[in-house]
């Protein structure tokens, strides 16, 4: 495997952290609902500070949209799970 360049490492870490945040947000939204979910709960779940979360998404609504966009993107690549009529 080729060695990662110094410029690529921070970008990879940023993407990995964002994915971890979105995973945590999805878990929190599932457990607590949209009203019960907070950035602090997402931060606690992923093991980051709330300030670190807000560097990726400024508010809870941004996390909702990011989670939805990721889900839509995943489904557009794999197609629907069952036929849509």
How many Cα atoms are found within 13 Å in the side-chain-facing hemisphere of 61? 0
Question: Which residue ranges form the domains of the chain, and what is each CATH number?
Answer: 11-77 (1.10.10.60)
Instruction: List the chain pLDDT tens, one digit each, 85 residues.
Output: 566 677 788 888 888 999 999 999 999 999 999 999 999 999 999 999 999 998 888 999 999 999 999 988 877 656 655 554 4
The 8-class DSSP code of residue 6 comes to T
Instruction: Quote the CA–CA distance of 34 and 62 in Å, as a whole number.
Output: 12
Model pTM score: 0.77
CA nearest neighbour of 50 among 70, 41, 74, 24: 41
């Amino acid at each position: 495997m080729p060695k990662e360049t110094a410029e690529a490492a921070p970008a990879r870490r940023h993407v990995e952290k964002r994915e971890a945040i979105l995973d945590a947000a999805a878990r929190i939204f599932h457990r607590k609902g949209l009203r019960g979910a907070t950035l602090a709960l997402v931060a606690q779940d992923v093991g980051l500070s709330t300030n670190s979360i807000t560097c990726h998404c400024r508010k809870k609504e941004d996390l909702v949209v990011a989670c939805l966009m990721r889900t839509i993107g995943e489904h557009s690549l794999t197609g629907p799970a069952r036929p849509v009529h």
